[in-house]
Structure 1
Amino acid sequence: MKRYLSAMGGLIIVLLLFPTLLTAQMENQPYVTVTTMHFDFSDEGNNYGTWKAAEQEYREKVINKNDLIRGTAVYTHLYTEDSREVVFVQVYDSWEDIEKAQERNGELAQESWPDEAERNAFFDKLNSHYSEWHSDQIYRMMPGAKYLAQPAEKDMVLYVRINYMAYPEDGSQEEFMEGYNWFIENMVNKNEIAKAYYPHIHAWGTDRREMVDAWLYDSMADVEKAGDRMEELWNEGLPEEAQRKAMGEKMGKYFLGHHKDMLYTYIHDLSKATMTQGTN
């Protein structure tokens, strides 16, 4: 079973589908691959502990040694539509590095398990913790991401909001980015409760309208506090009701108005947090 996404020579698809509204703003922004898999502990002896041990070994011997992978994160279900979900996120400098990284993973695997029988046995055991079905998406990180100040020392909570973009005829890149930059400055950079914020937009996958907000918090208690803090920052940044109404109308036309919400556990010791605050 192929664990991670291949670029599949699909750059032309990205160029055709990537929203022109934001194309000029995305130069030098990293690519983000998201692979969603599903636990299957039906094999005798398989459980969360054996899964984590196998993944830890794979990361120590392969993923963490792969310099083409700028960062990785592993998330498990907390409040999603499927309790079996486990999500693997990887960050790359370029589209080409996605493909190169898979080749490098193969090289590192052969170096770590030079005996083919041992190598196959390890990956058979690792993959036995998952069902065969999985999904892949590629996103592009947007400007204004807020990275962890330092690598996490404990598991955390990730709140994911999937928004669906509209492309109004009277919209413009300048108008959208003006509102977006205000949001980053006032709602993200001043938000001490959110330890990290990862905004990313569709580049390849099932729905070109997706724009994803991912917020990382210390705890569920902080997730609950976050709504009140966001309202406070909104009112502080736009103290007049007329200002808030105008901003809501201006930015609201760029979104369809419906969204999805999900909560995941961030597994800190299976993650490679090379992208911390101060990196881009």
Structure 2
Amino acid sequence: MKTIERILLGFLLITFTFTSVAQEKEEYKPVYITITTGHWNSDPDTDYTDWLKTEQEYFNKVTKKNDLIIGSGYYTHYFTPDNSEILFVSVYQNWEDLENASGITDRLIEEGWPDKDKREAFFKKQSSYYSAMHSDEIYQTTKFRKPLKTESKKPLIYYVKRNKLGEGGKGFNEYFENITMKNSFLRGYYTHRHRWGANSRDMIEVFVFDKLSDIEGSFDETQKLVEAYWPDKDKRKAFFKSYSKIFSGHGDYIYQNVPELAK
């Protein structure tokens, strides 16, 4: 029986180089991210009492032991258009590891539940929490990032900005170094570029905060940083005239993670 993580694997990689990263002099080796957007089971009779316990069992027996999965997490709806959403994310060092991880997962599953009947019962229970509807995407990271450093056992807030690439513009690196990286409210920041999915123009920014109110605080601080870095109004206006052409628009989503299921 396929589990959610196993569904993530086996897709074709579309090789595409994010221009602003390719132009960087410093060598950067990206990693690959698989994201399944799942949905909770809408059946009112579904028993979610043991959901976390069930997923922790899978996490401890499979995900945690699979060395080819270098990072993973579960992210639940906070403010998104669909409150049934739950994201299942896995990170791999390279494409080869992404492909080979499924074989290790299969082995770990048989080792974790050697009894066939008990194994089938477990995955039947795990699957009961979710609907059959889901979507799968694969991304490649870019070098624009601020690694999250926290020992918090509480859920963090993930503000996801799904940008659509425009037809030009410049200044992303300058803005990143002088504004994004200097924002004291920001605990972590990640960017990744479409590799496989519905829209090849996707370029995602993920902003990590301790709490929801920090998002508003970060907006205020961003404005102060912008005015301090570009004190001349005309130069500031000229910069953002070009910068605004990098993206043609974006959508906003807010999730929170499940600390017990984070690798």
Q: For residues 55 and 66 of structure 2, what CA distance do their matches in structure 1 show?
A: 15
Shift in Å at residue 216 of structure 1?
0.9
Which residue does 1:97 correspond to in 2? Answer: 97
Q: For residues 125 and 91 of structure 1, what CA distance do their matches in structure 2 show?
A: 25
Q: How does 1:60-209 map to 2 (within 5 A)?
A: 60-168=60-168, 176=170, 179-209=171-201
Q: 3-state SS of the aligned residue for 1:6? A: coil
**Aligned AA for 1:73?**
G
Q: 3-state SS of the aligned residue for 1:226? A: helix
Which residue does 1:233 correspond to in 2? Answer: 225
Q: 3-state SS of the aligned residue for 1:70? A: strand
Q: 3-state SS of the aligned residue for 2:75? A: strand
Which residue does 2:29 correspond to in 1? Answer: 28
Shift in Å at residue 30 of structure 1?
0.8
Shift in Å at residue 108 of structure 1?
1.0
**Aligned AA for 1:207?**
N
Q: 3-state SS of the aligned residue for 1:243? A: helix
> Could you tell me whether the CA contact under 8 Å between 1:7 and 1:95 is conserved in 2?
no
Which residue does 1:7 correspond to in 2? Answer: 10
> Could you tell me whether the CA contact under 8 Å between 2:30 and 2:143 is conserved in 1?
yes
Q: For residues 86 and 39 of structure 1, what CA distance do their matches in structure 2 show?
A: 7
In structure 1, runs of 5+ residues without a counterpart are: 273-280
Shift in Å at residue 184 of structure 1?
2.1
In structure 2, runs of 5+ residues without a counterpart are: none
Q: Does 1:264 align with 2:255?
A: yes
Shift in Å at residue 57 of structure 1?
1.0
Q: For residues 234 and 254 of structure 2, what CA distance do their matches in structure 1 show?
A: 33
**Aligned AA for 1:223?**
I
RMSD: 1.9
User: Which of 236, 239, 249 in structure 2 is aligned with 1:244?
Assistant: 236
TM-score (norm 1): 0.86
Q: 3-state SS of the aligned residue for 1:148? A: coil
CA pair 236-229 structure 1, distance change in 2 beyond 3 A: same
Shift in Å at residue 244 of structure 1?
1.5
Q: 3-state SS of the aligned residue for 2:144? A: coil
Q: For residues 21 and 207 of structure 2, what CA distance do their matches in structure 1 show?
A: 23
Q: For residues 105 and 44 of structure 2, what CA distance do their matches in structure 1 show?
A: 26
Superposed structure 1 runs of 4+ greater than 6 Å apart? none
TM-score (norm 2): 0.91
Q: 3-state SS of the aligned residue for 1:189? A: helix
Deviations 1:79-105 (A, max 9, x none): 111111100111111112111112211
The alignment-based identity, stated in percent, is: 36
Q: For residues 102 and 237 of structure 1, what CA distance do their matches in structure 2 show?
A: 48
Which residue does 2:50 correspond to in 1? Answer: 50
> Could you tell me whether the CA contact under 8 Å between 2:165 and 2:246 is conserved in 1?
yes
Which residue does 1:40 correspond to in 2? Answer: 41
> Could you tell me whether the CA contact under 8 Å between 2:185 and 2:214 is conserved in 1?
yes
> Could you tell me whether the CA contact under 8 Å between 2:18 and 2:142 is conserved in 1?
no
